[in-house]
A = this chain, B = another copy of it.
Amino acid sequence: MKISIVGATGYAGAELLRLLASHQVAEVKYITSESQPGTAIADIYPHLTRFYPQTLTSLVDLEKLAAESDVIFIGLPHGHAMEVGRKATAINPTIKIIDLGADYRFKNHAVYEEWYKVPHTHREAKTVYGLTELNRSQVREAGIVGNPGCYTTASILALAPLVKNKLVDLTTIIIDAKSGVTGAGRGLNLGSHFSEVFESVKAYNVGGHRHTPEIEEVLGGLAGEELTINFTPHLIPMPRGILSTCYANLKAGVTPEMIDEAYTSQYGNEYFVRLLGRGGYPVTKNTRSSNFCDLGWHIDKRTKRVIAISAIDNLVKGAAGQAIQNMNVMFNIDEKTGLDNAPVYP
């Protein structure tokens, strides 16, 4: 299984490299970067010393890269991945594409274009939304996977059983999410400057974060009807981790046991979803560096609301880990391959 990574110098790319270093089947072939071609991986990410002797190459070699790879992970900014996807599938029609960005996430291209402000140039692509636990069988057959966003993974996993089983009023969904700073990437800006972020918390992009329509499309698909949500992201002074606190009004007649049953039947056999049960409190640190999503839910009898809470590592289950999970599914090998490490705690 030959793998190439296109755009590997961001944190998600580095995390792919970290995880693939322990993957028993995968062999990393090409690693590209347009900003630093010719540089050794270990010069950019010294923690990877001993694992990658390779040097970054430029994408000008796409012909060769696509011909010699079984699967490409794409870690480019949105708008660029679909170009690579279009060309690579033309060169090698059996190649598998897993895009960690937004280009292949939306069924509705108009929504993509509205929120991302670029035209979609690969509309004919047959794509699958790679939230593995929800779409495993389609992922298995997919040629191109749009790997979900970090916030969306945490939020959808928490809400899917409620929405799918029609247990909540769809007009009342509010998602209040808290993310570590790696979600903002390795690019320099004052908002990620150490002394500015440390001992501080803030909300951002209220009502306007691009993960909003992604959550809406997927939950809407599960519900069988369109829905509109509130999604509020917050920046937490830590590098890794997302906690998603999700609120919804219970429909009349819905009992706590029905909620429990919805979670258990959805995730009871899922290795990477650890159910903490009703009253359980996920803690981001318990998932750190792992592909687990920890899930707990609460019923507030006074307000007749359910509060579902999920925790993930945004760089693993929220990006690189789920991408590898999808790859494992696509190649019909054990889904846990390369991902079965215990979280690093504390």
Contacts and interface: CB of A to CB of B under 8 A. Distances in A.
Which of A11, A198, A307: most chain B Cβ within 10 A? A198
Contact of A202 (B181, B243, B342): B243
Contacts of A161: none
A5 to B, nearest CB: 14
Interface string A286-315: 111110101000111111010101010000
A7 interface: no
Contacts of A182: 195, 346
A342 B48 contact: yes
Contacts of A96: none
A45 interface: yes
A274 B195 contact: no
Size band of the interface chain A makes with B? 35 or more
A1 interface: no
B186 A193 contact: yes
Interface of A: 11, 14, 17-18, 21-22, 45-51, 172, 174, 176, 178, 180-182, 186, 188-190, 192-204, 206-207, 228-230, 232, 234, 236-241, 243, 245, 247, 271, 274, 276, 281-290, 292, 294, 298-303, 305, 307, 309, 311, 340-346
30 contacts: A18-B342, A21-B341, A45-B345, A47-B345, A48-B342, A50-B274, A50-B342, A172-B172, A174-B305, A178-B234, A181-B195, A181-B198, A188-B188, A188-B193, A198-B238, A198-B239, A199-B199, A201-B238, A201-B241, A203-B307, A206-B309, A207-B300, A207-B301, A229-B303, A230-B247, A232-B245, A232-B307, A236-B237, A237-B238, A289-B344
